[in-house]
Amino acid sequence: MSNENTYLGKCFCGTVELALSGEPKMMAYCHCDSCRHWAASPINAFTLWAPDAVQITSGKESIGTYSKTPQSLRKWCIQCGGHILTEHPEMGLTDVPAAVIEDFSFKPTAHVNYQEAVLPVKDGLTKFKDIPKAAGGSGEEITE
């Protein structure tokens, strides 16, 4: 028997359900133009997971995909339009919006793409100009 955490997530109407195992690789806020427009929000709260930690458990036939760039394959429910996840093949990670995961304690550690912020946030978390160096960015930090 595994003691690994399992979290459940679903789209807005519940047609598409997913199971997440273990813990995310990162939890943070994104301020990039692309995420803001996709989320229809000034800030996007995200969780990054290893792809094999994310399983669609029902509703696969109701998933739509859009790829503005090869870096992001955004997936949503074609029934309600609710977001499900975004695959980042070049990074080897899957982004699941924090709001999609039920009974999950979102504990962000940073803000990414803060140079594009339209809503300043003073919360004491690290603000990366783009993304951390380990993820292929400059790693440059911006002060609050």
Summarised one tens digit per residue, pLDDT across range 20-62 is 999 999 999 999 999 999 999 999 999 999 999 999 999 999 9
71 in a domain, yes or no?
yes
Q: Is residue 141 part of a domain?
A: no
CATH no. for residue 28? 2.170.150.70
> What is the pLDDT, as a whole number, of residue 3?
54
pLDDT, position 69: 86
**Is residue 91, in this structure, part of any structural domain at all?**
yes
How many structural domains comprise the chain?
1
pLDDT of amino acid 1: 40
What is the span of the domain harbouring residue 21?
6-135
Contact in structure between 126 and 141 (CB atoms under 8 Å): yes
Contacts 24+ apart (CB under 8 A), 138-143: 142/114, 142/115
Report the candidate in 10, 22, 9, 8 with the shortest Cα–Cα distance to residue 93: 22
Inside any domain, residue 144: no
- pLDDT-flagged residues of the chain (< 50): 1
Length of the chain (residues): 144
**93 in a structural domain:** yes
Kindly state whether residue 1 falls inside one of the protein's structural domains. Answer: no
CA distances from 41 to 69, 84, 108 (A): 20, 16, 17
Instruction: Give domain status of residue 142, yes or no.
Output: no
H helix runs in 1-144, sequence order: 33-39
